[in-house]
Amino acid sequence: MTGRRLAAIATVLVLGLTTATAAAKPPAGEPPSRVMIVVIDQFRPDYVKRFNMANVRAVMRDGVNFDRAILGHMAAETVITHNVLTSGKLPKNMGWVNEVYRDVDGVLGPPGSYQVTSSLGCGQFDTLLKAQGYPKLDDQLGGRFISVGQKTTAACPAGHPADADDVIVHIGSRNRDCDGDGRNNWRSPGGFNIPAYISTPNCGRYYVDAEPLKQPFPGVPAFDMTYGTSTTSPAWMYPLDGNRFAVGNDPAHLGGDVWTADAAIQMMQNEGDWRGMMVTFGSVDKAAHMWGTDDDGPSFVGDDVHVQAHLPFAARTADAQVGRLLAALDAQGIRDDTLVVLTTDHAGQTAHRYHGQDGPDRGNFNWYYGADSDETYKQPQPALAPLVATDNLDFSYQDGHIAAWLHERSPADLDEAAAAMRSMPDVIASYVRDGDRYKRVGPTGQMSGQERSWWVRWGQELIDTMAAPSGPDVVGLLRDDVSYGVEGDHGGHQREIQEIPMAFSWPGLKPQQRQEHIRAVDVVPTVLRLMDIDPVAGTDFDGTAYRLKTRR
Ligand SMILES: [Zn+2]
Ligand SMILES: [Zn+2]
């Protein structure tokens, strides 16, 4: 027998031993009683290897990993998916479907008025949820549900403020002067039922410095807390604004994903009765929006010298926080009792074909066209001209797809807007809403073979998930690697936006690589099935309950 052969046998023995030890860990026959959903915003499967994300890889290797998971809905946005992942409903059945919301029934304002959903607060999401009345994950689990992340847009739609014992924590608005410079440029914790150990003392650990240009003392050179992003193209379209997405350099007030992990771990330690938790890390999304998904670090040209403003740093930081969360579950002695779901709210693509306008703070003006009660975006990029020229555009939103809300909606008006949409750069197909589906109008645009086969397989199914009266009247799907918004973007049906990581981890699970196309909407029913929980009365999931194999 060769030495190599002997070594192989030894490895098998060691692995066998490890497996036996791990199998003995979970309580015999007991399903997990808690679930923690960990979202790395705009996370792509290829990042795991590219950025050597060892903690994420371990979760995928030791649990049930779905290699071919897809997001499964549109709009592929933060503000949509965080509720899909915690409700088991598709966007068209959950109350809002896109970045823009037409208030058909006058739920938030006058009937027919518009809201930018990414600007809504926790209370407004609560109102939208109450108007729909379906149960969410917290209702299914019973007990406390905690939702935490830097972004309001993520933490609020993931939570459920209707439940008095639930907790939502995010980084709130600039309303404190914690450095005594006379300006309210620090952000305080925001949310719902914020625990006192998070919100106090005033200017404590969870208050972060959010001043773009830091001037500590008169006469001292200012420090750029946008970390070069406000003066460097293309990041300047959507620059950092202090330490909400950047970790920063102040050990007493670290921001970014460290902020979220710290808050999650502290709540884990203090709220012993939690049954569900959503922890959502926002910095990978921010970095990829600014520089694109191919970003490999600073150019060291001009002001672009800050490693922490870039994607490799963000990915490694998010990975380290995943490791800290798992270690904290261990330290609390509840790892065997907790199902961890690791996924994202959409992936992303780089604008190799870019149809926005590149300039400082152009992000919102590229993404939105229209006005609601407190925001006005009326400086469209030239590529939007055909839609604007119809003189019938109430609102539009464009990133990796184009969505338009019309003023007049007769068949002729719909056709006119659909034709305008088709004439815009890199639009592959133009659709008008017809009840609970979208109907393609006119010929298709230029596509590669790969783009066509993906579109044939998924295009119709994905676009139909946002067919609701609050949603867009006309939609344009775009080619791969196209954005009308910023350098890295999401929203659409494309493979690079839809292919997502999805892993379930619990010591009682049999490690498995699975090939089904599990979707975000399938997470809640799949979780409940493993936890052996019967859905509460009134539940009507749009998702499928996948069976995850256990060791018993
Ligand atoms: Zn997102
Ligand atoms: Zn985003």
Question: Got the DSSP string for 161-229?
Answer: TTSTT-EEEEEEEEEE-SSSSSS--EEEEEEES--HHHH-STT-TT-EE--SEE--STTSPPEETTTTT
pLDDT tens across 26-68, in order? 555 799 999 999 999 999 999 999 999 999 999 999 999 999 9
| Residue 20: pLDDT over 80 | no
Give 107's contacts (C-beta < 8 A, 6+ positions apart).
127, 128, 131
Cα(315) to ligand 1 centroid in Å equals 14
Mean per-residue pLDDT, 95-110? 97
Burial of 551 (0-12, 13-18, 19+ CB in 10 A): middle
- Ligand number with the minimum distance to the CA of 520: 1
Average pLDDT, the chain: 93
C-alpha to C-alpha distance for 366 and 289, rounded to whole angstroms: 13
C-alpha to C-alpha distance for 346 and 1, rounded to whole angstroms: 50
Q: What type of residue is 332?
A: Q
At 208, phi and psi to the nearest 5?
A: -120, 150
> What does each C-alpha distance from 258 to 1, 102, 208, 265 come to in angstroms?
51, 36, 12, 10
* Radius of gyration, alpha carbons of the chain: 23
Answer yes or no: are the C-beta atoms of 545 and 153 closer than 8 Å: no
> What does each C-alpha distance from 239 to 477, 485, 551 come to in angstroms?
27, 13, 47
- Ligand number with the minimum distance to the CA of 153: 1
C-alpha to C-alpha distance for 378 and 394, rounded to whole angstroms: 11
Cα(42) to ligand 1 centroid in Å equals 5
Which of these ranges, 139-143, 148-152, 167-171, has the smallest mean pLDDT? 139-143
* pLDDT at position 103: 98
C-alpha to C-alpha distance for 120 and 128, rounded to whole angstroms: 10
How many Cα atoms are found within 13 Å in the side-chain-facing hemisphere of 385?
5
- Ligand number with the minimum distance to the CA of 345: 1
C-alpha to C-alpha distance for 44 and 41, rounded to whole angstroms: 9
Answer yes or no: are the C-beta atoms of 278 and 244 closer than 8 Å: no
Q: Is the pTM of this model over 0.85?
A: yes
Cα(100) to ligand 2 centroid in Å equals 15
Cα(153) to ligand 2 centroid in Å equals 10
Mean per-residue pLDDT, 424-436? 98
* pLDDT at position 28: 58
Angle of CA points 481, 484, 490, to nearest 5° = 55
pLDDT tens across 450-485, in order? 999 999 999 999 999 999 999 999 999 999 999 999
Angle of CA points 209, 171, 226, to nearest 5° = 40
Cα(37) to ligand 1 centroid in Å equals 14
Q: Which two tokens stand for residue 158?
A: 């993931």
pLDDT band for position 22 (cuts 50, 70, 90): very low
How many Cα atoms are found within 13 Å in the side-chain-facing hemisphere of 292?
15
| Residue 203: pLDDT over 60 | yes
Mean per-residue pLDDT, 163-179? 93
* pLDDT at position 27: 56
| Residue 3: pLDDT over 90 | no
DSSP string for residues in 88-116: ---GGGTS--SSEEEETT-SSSSTTEEEE
> Which residues have their alpha-adjacent CB atom under 5 A from ion ligand 1?
41, 78, 285, 345
Cα(166) to ligand 2 centroid in Å equals 25
* pLDDT at position 7: 38
Indicate the DSSP class of residue 253.
S
Indicate the DSSP class of residue 458.
I
pLDDT tens across 302-320, in order? 999 999 999 999 999 999 9
- Ligand number with the minimum distance to the CA of 500: 1
Cα(98) to ligand 1 centroid in Å equals 12
Nearest Cα residue to 158 out of 396, 150, 48: 150
Cα(285) to ligand 2 centroid in Å equals 5
Cα(207) to ligand 1 centroid in Å equals 23
Angle of CA points 496, 501, 505, to nearest 5° = 175
* pLDDT at position 235: 98
Cα(41) to ligand 1 centroid in Å equals 5
Nearest Cα residue to 29 out of 386, 550, 457: 550
Cα(390) to ligand 1 centroid in Å equals 31
Indicate the DSSP class of residue 409.
-
Cα(345) to ligand 1 centroid in Å equals 5
- Ligand number with the minimum distance to the CA of 39: 1
| Residue 402: pLDDT over 80 | yes
pLDDT band for position 123 (cuts 50, 70, 90): very high
Mean per-residue pLDDT, 516-541? 97
Mean per-residue pLDDT, 273-277? 96
Mean per-residue pLDDT, 390-408? 98
Cα(50) to ligand 2 centroid in Å equals 20
Cα(3) to ligand 1 centroid in Å equals 50
* pLDDT at position 212: 85
Cα(445) to ligand 2 centroid in Å equals 27
pLDDT tens across 205-258, in order? 999 999 888 776 777 778 899 999 999 999 999 999 999 999 999 999 999 999
